[in-house]
Structure 1
Amino acid sequence: MPVIEFFFTAHDPALIVLAATICMISSYACIGLARHAARSSGRMRDVWTAVAAMAVGFGIWATHFVAVLAFRPGFTLSYDLWMTALSLLIAIGVCGAGIAMASRGRTFSDRFLGGAVVGVAISTMHYTGIAALVMGGRLAWDPGMVATSILAGIAMGGVALGIGMDGRLRHMLTGALLLTLAICAMHFTAMAAADFSLCFPLSVNGELDGFWLSIGLTFISILLLGLALGSAVLDEADRRRTERERERELRDAAEIVAVTQKLELAMTHMAQGLGLYGIDGTLQLYNQRFPTLLGIHPLTNLKGMSFRDTCRLTIAGTDVAVEDIEQRIEATLASHLPLIEEGGEIVIAFGEDRVLQVSHSPVGDGSWVTTLDDITERHRSQRAIAHLARHDGLTGLPNRARFNESFDLARSRAEETRSQVAVIAIDLDHFKEINDNHGHAAGDMVLKTLASRFNALLREGESIARLGGDEFAAIKVFSGMDALREFLVRLEDALSRRVEGEGLALSTGGSIGVAVWPEDGRDLSKLMSNADLAMYRAKAEFDRRICYYERDMDEQARERRDMARDLWTALEQNAFYLAYQVQKSVSTGETTGYEVLLRWNRPGHGEVSPSDFIPVAEECGAINAIGVWVLKMACLDAASWPEPYKIAVNVSGLQLAQVDFIETVRSTLFMSGLAPHRLELEVTETSIISDKQRALHILRQIKAMGVSIAIDDFGTGYSSLETLRSFPFDKIKLDRSFMREVESNEQSKAIVRAILTLGRSLSVPVLAEGVETRAQLDVLRKEGCTEAQGFLLGRPGAIDWDDRLESGLTG
């Protein structure tokens, strides 16, 4: 509102109309000439850019001074000559820069930026022109309106050229109008920002009279704009005349130049380099790609050069030593001359940056055509594909195929040097827990970090590959055991160091198995099998990380395979049977329940201890089927008992990991008719700890059915109080190992007392296993143990209910 009020009350309307007319004409000329400059190229683009800059520069300048003349501050304004001239130069120069940017731009953003520079020119010229005013006193400014005037000029100038440079006429007119508004908005907002109330007229030497200066500049600006518009018209007419003449010339010479144009077009745009050598062996014709592909400067004139000279220029541009150039030329000619005579192609690699396929095709009269194909990318792609085919995509380590090749090379080298080859199997410890607890990204980070460490430790005669998952394998050619041990120490160090990254610090480790060629096997498959056996031995033993293959491992592996086969057969033939061991109250001696124990009479071997065949069943996958059978038969037996005793059934960690285990328990209870409160499932903390959240979730759902849950073998393994806190177990079973010396060893007695105290504090009954003497039972009774089982109370076996009922009636 202050700007509008200032516009109507402080200006001469006639001069305002004149200033607006000059502004509109200059804006239209600017947009038109800028469009013309954009369509031109080379020097003519610069010429038209300069003409457009002069047109709009003079227009802005003239608009300013005419508008200032229209301003009525209350006294006559005069101007400093040099500052006035400087404002004109600023208007032309900065506008020229903006128009040059806009005319060379390809997008709206480019043109907007050029228009914004023109807006800067408008603001700069205006405030320089104000500085040219000769007057006394102090000119005050409103900072907010000054900023508004500058931003208005920049924003509207950017939009004006951004729209006006478009090819359509209406956009040109819109751009001219917006540029006019940019100039006017900037000027009048800036004038409204100035307070002339404290100023007074002042006369100095060298000043210009404002009225006559404005009138003269108006006529000069109109003249320049007329010349600019006329030049545009004349240029357009000249362009059309030139096009008509050229069309006539092209029609006259069409028959002559048609073939030449097509040939040149094809040679210019063909991806291959093409060279025609004449009968005399000199280059007669070639395209631009020919020297470029050979590494020769494109401006070099190759016409008339022999093939030898072309080879010299090509070789000189490589890193071949000067004294070796002639020798290299002779070698190149020796490989190419037969192809020039007979025809053929050859692949030449100039390092990694350039790989060419050179083809020679003889014409028949002694001349020939040489074509060059840049196959660098194809060569790289082939190499990349070959690398991927033989290396692991995640870690970059060799894969199994490359590992097999490395073993063949190592064996050949060992045969030549009478050395040995170690094949080493490496398996990471607890890698599944890293993936489960921290995500697969953390697992990938561990694998890549270890791969980097492995690559850093390798020396001559050593290689490491990733075979899959967390399995690695290494090869070491050695002549003495000290060298092999030193390599294994390096491997163990790389495995044992913590892996840090992405906000995590993870402890890693691994088990290593070693088999040696030729003692432990002649072929790779046998060596890898033996190394795996040794690695699994290392993984099974608590205090060993490195294990060498021993021949008895084969025997043990074969026995385990035979046992696994017999286990599946026993399942099919229903050859397992159940034994029950009584559980009694320590205080009253009454029977409280029975623990179900699995028994197997293996054909040809007799009774096999569960501690021997259960681990094999877990390895071969039979444990789930066996566990379902035990649960089913135990529930059926218990449902038929005349007394409603509880039965306790052991559950393995693999059973807990099954999704359908909950449904198995539910369907077994329904099928057998056994009341849920009579079933007690015994789980070890070891079976829970691998996936604690999942296991506890499953156990909670089973407990919700009414089934009791007991923690078995407590006191061994982890014995974590956190596990007891996380899940409300119905019973704690004290491991039998604490009962062996409980009556004589104070330390064992203290441990038993602590566990019993823990049970009482948690209100969880404790059952002691392995009670074999009266003294052990007395200790348990004295310490307040709830239940017990063992040979003293009853050996495992079938239950004779007739005898039990009879003894109960007579007892």
Structure 2
Amino acid sequence: MRHAKRATGKMKVVWNVVSALSVGIGIWATHFVAVLAFQPGFHFGFDMGLTTLSLAISVLLCGGGIAMAVHGTNRFDRILGGATIGVGISVMHYTGMAALLLEGEIAWQSGAVTVSILAGIVLASAAVVVGFDGNARRSLAGAGLLTAAICAMHFTAMAAADFSACTALAGASEMNSGLLSLVIALTSLMVLAAAFGSLLLDEVDRRHTMREAVRQAADAQRLAEVNDRLSLALTHMGQGLALFDSEGTLLLHNTRLLELLDLPKSTNAVGERLDALLCRSLEARGMDAVAAKAKAEEIAASYALMSEQVGGDIVQQLSDGRAYRVRSNKAGRGAWIATVEDISASRRDAAAIAHMAHHDSLTGLPNRARYNQVLDGALEAALASGDKLAVVALDLDRFKDINDSFGHAAGDQVLRALADQINGGLKDGEMVARLGGDEFAAVKPFTTMAALRDFLDRLDQAVNGRVRYGESMLMVGGSIGVAIYPDDGRDRSKLLNNADLALYRAKAELDQRICYYEQEMDEAARERRAVAKDLWTAIETEGFHLAYQVQKSVTTGRTTGYEVLLRWNRPGHGPMSPADFIPIAEECGAIGAIGAWVLSAACREAAAWPEPHKIAVNVSGLQLAQFELVDMVKHVLDQTGLAPHRLELEVTETAIIADRKRALAVLSNIKALGVSIAIDDFGTGYSSLDTLRSFPFDKIKLDRSFMPEVEHDEQAKAIIRAILALGKSLSVPVLAEGVETSAQLDVLRAEGCTEAQGFLLGRPGVIDWDGMRRSA
């Protein structure tokens, strides 16, 4: 069927007939082979006329259905053709059944007969639709559906036949079953052999014709492709291409060459000499004829000389700023090929990349790498001339607040505006660079302090003021630190470090925005580094020890717990206050290890006490910002065996405010372990009521700064009264720190304070459970 569809003319009819014979005889052979295998219990014969008629019906009806499908134009035609084949299967079957010679009549079940006819029609239609178009897999699927149509129709129809009333017909001529089988088999094989033979011959001829046609088409296509590719390559080359003979006459060129020479695309330049072509190009750019001719001859001579040698390339700079790279190569027999490339953009890109490598992308100021180069050069010049050189460190104040409040876009706008203001006030020899974030640095060679002060005043004015962002006016400011060569250092590293030290002091001072480096700053920095080194040594050697300050009930005087205090005898220096070394520990990163040691040592000692008193341990803001604190507390409690309700962690509101959400999450997880949480130093700093509302603290510790004035200052007494009332309303006990006199304790007792600690109740020391206390 598929061959019939592809064929034309007579071959279409031939293939239609071949397919009709194939399927018709196939159906007929299937039916009679199956009937020969049927054993109703008696012998029957075949009417030769009806048997032959059934074969003709099968071939003709199936051929008609195939013709409908082959000559049809849409799917409906194929469905109708398949249905006709299905009808042919049914008509052939019931005609073949009528060819049986027997006594009596076959009884038919009408329902099964209907089902058999419909099964043949539906499955045959599906077979034609599926197998008619498509690949080999769909052809096999169509063949399977056609087989199913034949078998379904036949066996359903046979099941519908009732032979109970039939017997052998006496005197009827009986065709030999074996002979009929042989006739069927030979007929089928002959038709199928003819079909496959025709298919093979057709395929051989078709493939031969196709190969010859494909070969000729491929040759023609290759030739066309070569021409097209050559033309395409010449047309779309990024460079101009020119082929000259040994006399310098142009033999071949592309359109790009004319564009680069500023000549019209319609210009026919083939046959022109190089000097004449260049002269036309120069005249097109506005040069007068005489000058253009002289210049063209000069350029042509240089190109000819280069082509006579091994070739090479030169860069031709044009008057309008463009730059061309011309490459020349020998092509044999004296001919040479030249390519012309516009490198103006690449040169601009290279300049831009070089600028980006040495300048800040946001502000356009020089970056750290460029600053270091300039500073090194300025130091060499100062060494040679004997002049002085100022190295300036500049840092913006409150820049983080701008980013947090208005977003990073506002911060970027501030940096750009300040960079413009700074650049606008610079003079020869001065440079300001952005090193990163809101950090800037400057270099100023000078001979008089007046010149340096003028430069610093201009910087100060540029970075202190207002910057508009949308509808808002943003207040900005900056701090400046200055180190001077050679007084404050002779190399870049030393000068930058000393300028930073001066900057730190400027940021710490309330009344100064510009600070000069002083020797004491370096000494203080060295001392801090030495303390940091000793702290790490103390961590490794367990050079710390703990002291305990008692906490008592104000009303009963009963001991309620002890606050754990860290003590350190610095080797070679003696006792050092935690107020002095804790900030350094936080700067150098030692606070985490120190806090872990304090918590572990305090819990281990408290677990061994004969009295189950509570201990209070301070937690730094850096520890509170880490979720690992929760695991550490749990591990220490498990390791030491201290009951969680005996441990109280003290945190300041300042530590919470640094990262409120994270801090409260950490505290919630610790509180879930059964550990108490106290807010320390309440009444100073933020003292936000929202903090008390956001977290269920177990204790409020009243800061010691109120105690010295509580006896005679009504305002201090009123503040204490308010805090105590707040604690009472929240059902949170209040502990007063720094109680040193009986009068102070009486005031607390009268105002309803819960607990107190201070020198009056006991100095910090090592607990002697025999009743003795040694001073720490």
Same fold (TM over 0.5): yes
Query: Which residue of 474, 480, 483 corresponds with 2:454?
Result: 483
Aligned to 1:798, the other structure's residue is in SS state strand
Residue 677 of structure 1 aligns with which residue? Answer: 645
Aligned to 1:520, the other structure's residue is in SS state coil
Residue 298 of structure 1 aligns with which residue? Answer: 265
Matches within 5 A, 1:429-578: 442-443=407-408, 446-447=411-412, 449-458=414-423, 459-460=426-427, 461-478=429-446, 480-493=451-464, 497=466, 500=469, 511-541=479-509, 544-578=512-546
Query: Within 2, Cα distance between the matches of 1:317 and 1:453?
Result: 48
Residue 779 of structure 1 aligns with which residue? Answer: 747
The answer (yes or no) to whether the contact 1:681–1:709 under 8 Å persists in 2 is: yes
The count of aligned residue pairs is: 548
Deviations 1:727-774 (A, max 9, x none): 232222222223233334444444434433433343333222222233
Indicate how the Cα distance of structure 1 residues 338 and 451 shifts in structure 2: closer, same or farther if over 3 A, else same.
Answer: farther
Indicate how the Cα distance of structure 1 residues 372 and 689 shifts in structure 2: closer, same or farther if over 3 A, else same.
Answer: same
Deviations 1:103-149 (A, max 9, x none): xxxxxxxxxxxxxxxxxxxxxxxxxxxxxxxxxxxxxxxxxxxxxxx
Using the TM superposition, give the Cα deviation of residue 476 of structure 1 relative to its aligned residue in structure 2, in angstroms: 4.2
Query: Within 2, Cα distance between the matches of 1:706 and 1:322?
Result: 99
Gaps of 5+ in 2: 1-215
The answer (yes or no) to whether the contact 1:426–1:471 under 8 Å persists in 2 is: yes
Query: Within 2, Cα distance between the matches of 1:413 and 1:305?
Result: 58
Q: Which amino acid aligns with 1:657?
A: A
Aligned to 1:801, the other structure's residue is in SS state coil
Query: Which residue of 789, 795, 804 corresponds with 2:757?
Result: 789
Indicate how the Cα distance of structure 1 residues 464 and 522 shifts in structure 2: closer, same or farther if over 3 A, else same.
Answer: same
Q: Which amino acid aligns with 2:587?
A: E
The answer (yes or no) to whether the contact 1:421–1:476 under 8 Å persists in 2 is: yes
Indicate how the Cα distance of structure 1 residues 305 and 530 shifts in structure 2: closer, same or farther if over 3 A, else same.
Answer: farther
Gaps of 5+ in 1: 1-246, 806-811
Q: Which amino acid aligns with 2:459?
A: L
Indicate how the Cα distance of structure 1 residues 452 and 432 shifts in structure 2: closer, same or farther if over 3 A, else same.
Answer: closer
Matches within 5 A, 1:755-766: 755-766=723-734
Indicate how the Cα distance of structure 1 residues 448 and 434 shifts in structure 2: closer, same or farther if over 3 A, else same.
Answer: closer
The reply to whether residue 286 of structure 1 matches residue 257 of structure 2 is: no
Give the TM-score taking structure 2 as reference length. Answer: 0.61
Indicate how the Cα distance of structure 1 residues 405 and 594 shifts in structure 2: closer, same or farther if over 3 A, else same.
Answer: same
Aligned to 2:670, the other structure's residue is in SS state helix
The answer (yes or no) to whether the contact 1:447–1:470 under 8 Å persists in 2 is: no
Q: Which amino acid aligns with 2:723?
A: I
Deviations 1:597-617 (A, max 9, x none): 101111111111111111111
Aligned to 2:371, the other structure's residue is in SS state helix
Using the TM superposition, give the Cα deviation of residue 543 of structure 1 relative to its aligned residue in structure 2, in angstroms: 5.3
Deviations 1:68-100 (A, max 9, x none): xxxxxxxxxxxxxxxxxxxxxxxxxxxxxxxxx
Q: Which amino acid aligns with 2:676?
A: S
Residues 408-417 or 354-363, more deviating: 408-417
Query: Within 2, Cα distance between the matches of 1:473 and 1:530?
Result: 13
The answer (yes or no) to whether the contact 1:515–1:528 under 8 Å persists in 2 is: yes
Query: Which residue of 608, 620, 624 corresponds with 1:640?
Result: 608
Deviations 1:4-43 (A, max 9, x none): xxxxxxxxxxxxxxxxxxxxxxxxxxxxxxxxxxxxxxxx
The reply to whether residue 583 of structure 1 matches residue 551 of structure 2 is: yes
Residue 629 of structure 1 aligns with which residue? Answer: 597
Query: Within 2, Cα distance between the matches of 1:319 and 1:447?
Result: 47
The answer (yes or no) to whether the contact 2:650–2:678 under 8 Å persists in 1 is: yes
Deviations 1:774-802 (A, max 9, x none): 33333333433332222222111101111
Give the TM-score taking structure 1 as reference length. Answer: 0.59
Query: Which residue of 671, 675, 685 corresponds with 1:717?
Result: 685
Matches within 5 A, 1:60-99: none
Query: Within 2, Cα distance between the matches of 1:716 and 1:668?
Result: 31
Query: Within 2, Cα distance between the matches of 1:675 and 1:352?
Result: 86
Using the TM superposition, give the Cα deviation of residue 553 of structure 1 relative to its aligned residue in structure 2, in angstroms: 1.8
Query: Within 1, Cα distance between the matches of 2:227 and 2:770?
Result: 117
Which structure's CA Rg is the greater one? 2
Query: Within 2, Cα distance between the matches of 1:483 and 1:367?
Result: 69
Query: Within 1, Cα distance between the matches of 2:288 and 2:387?
Result: 41
Using the TM superposition, give the Cα deviation of residue 652 of structure 1 relative to its aligned residue in structure 2, in angstroms: 0.3
Identity over the aligned pairs, expressed in percent? 58
Indicate how the Cα distance of structure 1 residues 334 and 614 shifts in structure 2: closer, same or farther if over 3 A, else same.
Answer: farther
Residue 14 of structure 1 aligns with which residue? Answer: none
Using the TM superposition, give the Cα deviation of residue 290 of structure 1 relative to its aligned residue in structure 2, in angstroms: 1.3
Residues 267-276 or 480-489, more deviating: 267-276
Aligned to 2:765, the other structure's residue is in SS state coil
Deviations 1:654-691 (A, max 9, x none): 00011211111122222222222222111111111111
Q: Which amino acid aligns with 2:419?
A: F
Indicate how the Cα distance of structure 1 residues 671 and 264 shifts in structure 2: closer, same or farther if over 3 A, else same.
Answer: closer
Query: Within 1, Cα distance between the matches of 2:659 and 2:225?
Result: 80
The answer (yes or no) to whether the contact 1:433–1:690 under 8 Å persists in 2 is: no
Query: Within 2, Cα distance between the matches of 1:362 and 1:293?
Result: 22
